């Protein structure tokens, strides 16, 4: 069994809304004892996406409690979503994206599949996950810009999902780092990132109240800005006093960084005409 991890000093909250859909296929999980936080976005629509997202969270929690690493837990969830279709718990075509954080003190491990995201906010917005999507392959290779990716007609085409790949073939992204005082991690489904641009996210995160209230405002803003999908946000905040001088706690990998002061990005590849 995993030892109980100390996350008492972290404030964790979340909020979800079905948006303009008939039902909510998003699921989120907060387990303070395990230090486990998950957002899963079911895919497949009438093919029981909500079953896949719920099962994904259940399996990951069970596997982490049994001592598995985060990557192995997601791989097991992939197998069990596939098996659920065979046994009739769900329907053919169902799957789920997932972003998961495993906290131990201030250290975090991340793992993800699909296009749900995790951001780090420290006065700048750092994207810590790389979408498994068609437009991300185009953007990362410099074929389209970030702005073009946001409005691309194939922006919702994902290349990986829990339940979509044979056992052992799932592409699981990973990252790690340490959460500094007065910073936070935001986990969210694409119902947040589609309607809200980085500038809007920065505005919401820079005026945080409680994590629950901030997540509610993020979801509400996403729906007010035209979002029609299920929308889910979960926030992990380290509300400690910033160190003086502050230590540099850079994550292992960053896809890009947005600076709200200059309204400029760091880390984007040049676009080839």
Residue 125 inside a domain? The answer is yes
- Whether the CB-CB separation of 140 and 203 falls below 8 Å is answered with no
CATH number at residue 207: 3.60.40.10
**pLDDT greater than 90 at residue 7:** no
pLDDT above 50 (res 1): no
Is 271 domain-assigned?
no
Residue with the bigger pLDDT between 243 and 266: it is 266
> Any idea what DSSP says for residue 46?
G
Per-residue pLDDT at 79 exceeds 90:
yes
> Does residue 111 register a pLDDT over 80?
yes
Tell me, yes or no, whether 204 lies in a domain.
yes
How crowded is residue 270: how many other Cβ atoms within 10 Å of its Cβ?
Answer: 6
Cα separation of 105 and 243, whole Å? 16
Query: 3 pLDDT exceeds 60?
Result: no
Whether 3 maps to a domain, the answer reads no
Is the residue at 272 inside a domain? no
Return the DSSP state at 45. Answer: G
Residue 163's pLDDT band (cuts 50, 70, 90): very high
- Residues 191-210 have pLDDT tens digits of 999 999 999 999 999 998 99
Range of the domain at 195: 10-266
Q: What is the pLDDT of residues 15-32, one digit of tens each?
A: 999 999 989 999 999 999
Is the confidence at residue 96, as pLDDT, over 70?
yes
What token pair was written down for 218?
């993020």
The answer to the question of residue 229 being in a domain is: yes
Please give the average per-residue pLDDT across 90-107, as a whole number: 93
pLDDT in tens, 220-263: 999 999 998 999 999 999 988 777 676 667 898 999 999 999 99
Alpha helices in the chain (DSSP H): 49-65, 70-87, 134-140, 146-151, 190-193, 198-206, 211-224
pLDDT at residue 47 tops 70: no
Asked whether residue 140 is assigned to any structural domain, the reply reads: yes
Q: Given a cut of 70, is residue 138 above it in pLDDT?
A: yes
Question: Residues of the chain with pLDDT > 90: what percent?
Answer: 78
User: Is residue 99 included in any domain, yes or no?
Assistant: yes
Average pLDDT of the residues of the chain: 92
The domain total for the chain is: 1
């Amino acid at each position: 069994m995993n030892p109980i991890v100390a996350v008492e000093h972290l404030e964790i909250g979340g909020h979800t809304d079905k948006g303009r859909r008939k039902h909510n296929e998003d699921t989120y999980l907060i387990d303070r004892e395990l230090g486990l936080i998950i957002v899963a976005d079911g895919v497949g629509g009438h093919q029981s996406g909500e079953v896949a997202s719920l099962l994904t969270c259940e399996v990951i929690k069970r596997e982490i409690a049994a001592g598995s690493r985060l990557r192995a837990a997601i791989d097991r969830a992939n197998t069990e979503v596939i098996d659920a279709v065979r046994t009739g718990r769900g329907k053919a075509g169902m799957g789920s994206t997932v972003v998961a954080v495993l906290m131990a003190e201030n250290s975090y491990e991340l793992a993800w599949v699909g296009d749900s995201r995790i951001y780090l906010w420290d006065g700048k917005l750092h994207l810590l996950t790389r979408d498994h999507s068609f437009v991300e392959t185009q953007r990362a290779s410099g074929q389209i810009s970030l702005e073009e990716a946001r409005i691309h007609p194939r922006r919702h085409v994902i290349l990986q999902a829990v339940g979509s790949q044979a056992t052992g073939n799932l592409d699981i992204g990973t990252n790690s780092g340490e959460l500094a005082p007065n910073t936070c991690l935001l986990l969210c489904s694409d119902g947040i990132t589609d309607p809200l641009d980085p500038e809007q996210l920065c505005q919401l995160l820079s005026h945080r109240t409680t994590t629950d209230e901030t997540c509610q405002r993020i979801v509400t803003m996403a729906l007010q800005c035209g979002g029609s999908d299920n929308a889910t946000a979960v926030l992990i905040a380290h509300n400690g006093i910033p160190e003086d001088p502050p230590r540099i706690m850079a994550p292992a990998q960053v896809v890009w960084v947005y600076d709200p002061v200059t309204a400029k990005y760091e880390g984007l590849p040049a676009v080839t005409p």
